[in-house]
Amino acid sequence: MKKIFGLVILGWTAISCSRQLVEDTTLVDRLMRQHPRAFRTIQKQKDSLEIQIIYTQIDRDSANHPHFRSFYYQVDSTHYFYPASTVKLPMVLLALEKMNRLKVPGLDKYTPMLSDSAYAGQHAVRRDTTAANGLPSVAHYAKKILLVSDNDAYNRLYEWVGQREANDRLRAKGYRMHILHRLERPLTPDQNRHTEPIRFLRHDSVIYAQPMLVNPDSIRPRRQVFKGIGYLKNDGQLVKHPFDFTYKNDYPLQEQQEILKAILFPQSVAQERRFQIPDSERKFVMQYMSELPREARYPAYYKDPNYTDAYCKFLGYADTRRPLPMGLRIFNKVGDAYGYLIDNAYFMDPVHGVEFMLSAVINTNTDGIYNDGKYAYREIGYPFMRALGKTIYGYEKKRHRPRKPDLSEFIFTYNQ
């Protein structure tokens, strides 16, 4: 797909037709130019920083159905960026979908889930001291992912779904992405094709056992990707050749916003692109996407001062310690690794009657050396994410809407 700078209109349902709306196709660029202190340098370096932005306005009709207008800045699905932890949201959805598809009596997302080890590089898990009952489960792993982007929790859901099934189901839904590996574990492609055996228990009895899953075929990446001028090996040796991202996870920004839309606004996407989970589980995901770490009791993130409101809220608030504004909730999934910062978010403010979607990525690896941990997150990435979120949020608070939205379905009781 080529670069997109224009406007796309989506109606409430995937099959409905809407009158083409005339809009400024350079809206995001124009809004940034209104804040030169925040964006002038960024815009001059937009290509080297690999910036992509999708800003989606939402207006409601008389029945409160959402209609979408998306504005693009440098969006190019053929240009690879490392998606980091953003792959965790589709993995949560696939894990819940698999649980419901099996229809095993007594098996649900809260059922204790034990992992065994049967292959090189695998780790067994018997306990989770952060859970109320001290036991791991799909629900508890999902909570840890959605609240603070826990890497081990993602790995466990990856093992539950399996590499082959994850990619087959995403492809069947029409999403152009690849999930190829666990996170923060230096495993070979062969080890990533093998997943830990899993047992689900009810009253100390196994009610469902999944043997080690094996993907017999190496998944063919969408494209070969080499980036930068060098990289550090795990032993610290500098290799003066571009870093190979070919067999890393691949998740374009457009797909990220579409999957976020599929869980928040399922009636707005085609049936085949939705995740087949009950509405109660959709709300489970929405609640923990928007809950703040200080509101969580299990795990007890409220006890750790490092988990600020902005811990996983880059757009508008990256690297800040002050609380989010009263009433504002951000349903999102962030990622940061190899110098890339990504946030895929839906802002919901019932006080001001504001809602919009905003997705963005920036590469802060300014020296072209990967895997050395020397990235300009605080110098470039966080200020950009803060300024972009605040700029769009401020614009939205002033933007005329034909009707004030009823946002009650996005209001949850937290501190659970």
What's the whole-number mean pLDDT along residues 295-319?
94
Predicted local confidence at residue 220, as pLDDT:
75
Which range, of 22-31, 34-43, 72-81, 142-151, averages the lowest pLDDT? 22-31
| Residues 29-54, mean pLDDT to the nearest whole number | 96
pLDDT at 18 over 60: no
pLDDT digits (tens, 9 = 90+) for 116-135: 999 999 999 999 999 999 99
Q: Is the pLDDT of residue 414 over 80?
A: yes
For the segment 205-209, the average pLDDT, to the nearest whole number, is: 97
Tell which residue, 354, 294, 348, has the closest CA to residue 323.
Answer: 294
Residue 363's nearest CA partner among 333, 393, 388, 384 is: 384
In angstroms, the CA 268 to CA 266 distance is: 5
387 vs 15, residue with greater confidence: 387
At residue 416 the predicted structure's pLDDT band, cuts being 50, 70 and 90, is: low
Chain CA centroid to CA 233, Å: 27
Q: For the chain, what is the mean pLDDT?
A: 92
Q: Give how far Cα 183 sits from Cα of 119, 261, 398, Å.
A: 17, 25, 41
For the residues 246-257, what does the mean pLDDT come to? Answer: 96
Greatest alpha-carbon pair distance for the chain in Å reads 63
Of the pLDDT bands very low, low, confident and very high (cuts 50, 70, 90), residue 4 is: very low
- Closest by Cα among 22, 25, 34 to 5: 25
Give the number of residues written for the chain. Answer: 416
Residue 219's pLDDT is what?
80
pLDDT of residue 150: 97
Please report the pLDDT score of residue 24 as a whole number.
Answer: 56
User: In the predicted model, is pLDDT for residue 192 greater than 50?
Assistant: yes
Lowest mean pLDDT among 5-14, 190-199, 204-213: 5-14
pLDDT at residue 97 in the model = 98
